[in-house]
Chains A and B, each alone.
Chain A
């Protein structure tokens, strides 16, 4: 079973899983209750049709596997928020992008300044 980001937007006490096609509602309930000690009120499942896509480089159409989605309803006073896994990474990404942007800008400035004298080396200036 794989915990996934709830989509479409679900109630705060609903958790969404992708699980094996063979699992029944009872299996899902027992699995979560017995192994992870999660109080479960209700389990709803549906089977999502896999995506149809053009096979890369081949051109014909193939279908991805179907997915069984399980919506676990927790007691209404409990809430579950899907963790934002890439929060720290995003910041780092932004910082590196910033420095890259600055470098690009200074290079563009340099080009702009020297566009009239293309053959002159960079050290030759006042």
Chain B
């Protein structure tokens, strides 16, 4: 027995002696010419939490593929983030200040397109002259001579549906005419991809806003949070939109203003701290998705132009007034342009935590076939979460026109008073040629692996692909979020009248279902018959969630 003890001790003893001798050796090199100190770290609770968050951001940055980054953004929430929804169906009164702050965009109303477009003037005029008569015919035929049959869904009126359908058809036809005209002259138009009603979704965090009521109530429970009741939090924001038509190409558009201008204090956006509910926005639990109308791996990944409808204007209250209607259009343009560009940036490997290193530009048209407004949007920054909201000096810039009338009336199947300047602006959007950039477009993606399609390991690739697609589909979970019944809220939570009962429900065991992480579930079970030969004790399949 004693021998055994001794035996066990021997290796430990050896380790000791070795370590000791090593230390002695090390002593000789201990002194350097200049003193080297470890960095001084903030050891307060806030400081430690900040470092924790920063390390997560760093981990997301270091992930190699686009899809893994998207899964990583959703890792902290099994049942999804409580997102402020930016839909295009409804724009509340006085929406512009909030949208400007949430997209960090300086908006400039202009009467004509920025100077960068002036060199394409002569060609545009020629194209307008040649296509004018065809476009007149299209408008006349589509507006009056086509009967639309549609099932009326609840959320849209008959009038709105009619306008939507007419606009959709006219936009498709005009796009076809202009593309056909320009395809033989301009290679970027020939090779451009055209999406009909694509899925545009974007997800980001906005910090520095007021704390919602329920968070304050939660903080009041704990004594150590009493001096931090009003500390701002991140609000997840989700944009969802479907343009009538989107054009995209392999190369990005040229910046409208130089990238250095992004830090110009003239473009500063006033902060909007009120809760979004007070403006009239609502929240929804969902996974954050970034989809610019195609799946990762498409070659044409930069947007040139998107056409949006404005049928929601018909459902606005008359009391909002004309000026607010125009502001609503501006805010729609900001949301949709920023949303599309952010999704594109996400496919380049940037996320809401890792800022873009170069500007991206897109052009947006909002139309109902008669009234057209044109917007040029340059995205310079996408980080606006809590730590960056005040420190980030960059801002996005948008130039936009008020709604311009394309024609006056349609009489006897003839369009009267077609405004050529409006058509010219539209053609100039097509003439704006994208250009190859000299810098690295995807600095935060891996060298060999940029998409999960590049991953060699079959299991990992298939698992990530199906998980990613399932995540962005936002189907409800198989097991829905556990519910607190009203009687439990009254008699167990608000008033402890049933303290003698066994505590078995989740809220009595201190489990917060909203804090459940995405990977907190049992992986698929491997039946015994399918386990590896000869004897494998591995009961569950492997998961490949990104480590963040």
Contact = CB atoms under 8 A, between A and B. Distances in A.
Of the candidates A11, A13, A54, A75, the one having the most CB atoms from chain B within 10 angstroms of its own CB is A11
B412 interface: no
B212 interface: yes
Of the candidates A40, A54, A75, the one having the most CB atoms from chain B within 10 angstroms of its own CB is A75
Contacts of A54: 495
B268 to A, nearest CB: 21
A14 interface: yes
B523 interface: no
**Range of interface residues on chain B?**
20 to 34
Given A9-B278, A14-B278, A73 B93 contact: yes
B210 interface: yes
Interface residues of A, number: 18
Of the candidates B94, B213, B324, the one having the most CB atoms from chain A within 10 angstroms of its own CB is B94
B490 A52 contact: yes
Interface in B444-459: none
Given A42-B93, A52-B490, A61-B490, A9 B274 contact: yes
A17 to B, nearest CB: 15
B371 to A, nearest CB: 23
A10 B280 CA distance: 11
B506 interface: no
A9 B210 contact: yes
A7 B274 CA distance: 12
Contact of A42 (B212, B213, B275, B319): B319
Is chain A's binding surface mostly helix, strand, loop or mixed?
Answer: loop
B320 interface: yes
Contacts of B324: 76
Interface string A7-21: 111110110000000
B494 A11 contact: no
Contacts of A11: 94, 274, 278-279
A52 B494 contact: yes
A42 B490 contact: no
A26 B6 CA distance: 91
A41 interface: yes
A44 B495 contact: no
A9 to B, nearest CB: 6
A46 to B, nearest CB: 10
A10 B490 CA distance: 29
Given A40-B319, A41-B319, A41-B320, A8 B495 contact: no
Contact of B317 (A9, A14, A41, A75): A41
Nearest to A7: B213
Contacts of A75: 321
Interface in A42-78: 42, 44, 52, 54, 61, 71, 73, 75-76
Nearest to A14: B278
Of the candidates B93, B317, B320, the one having the most CB atoms from chain A within 10 angstroms of its own CB is B93
B64 to A, nearest CB: 43
20 contacts: A7-B213, A8-B210, A8-B212, A8-B213, A8-B275, A9-B210, A9-B274, A10-B274, A11-B279, A41-B93, A41-B317, A41-B319, A42-B92, A42-B319, A52-B490, A61-B491, A71-B278, A73-B93, A73-B94, A76-B93
Interface of B: 92-94, 210, 212-213, 274-275, 278-280, 317, 319-321, 324, 490-491, 494-495, 497
Given A41-B317, A42-B92, 8 more contacts: A8-B213, A8-B278, A9-B278, A52-B494, A61-B491, A61-B497, A76-B93, A76-B324
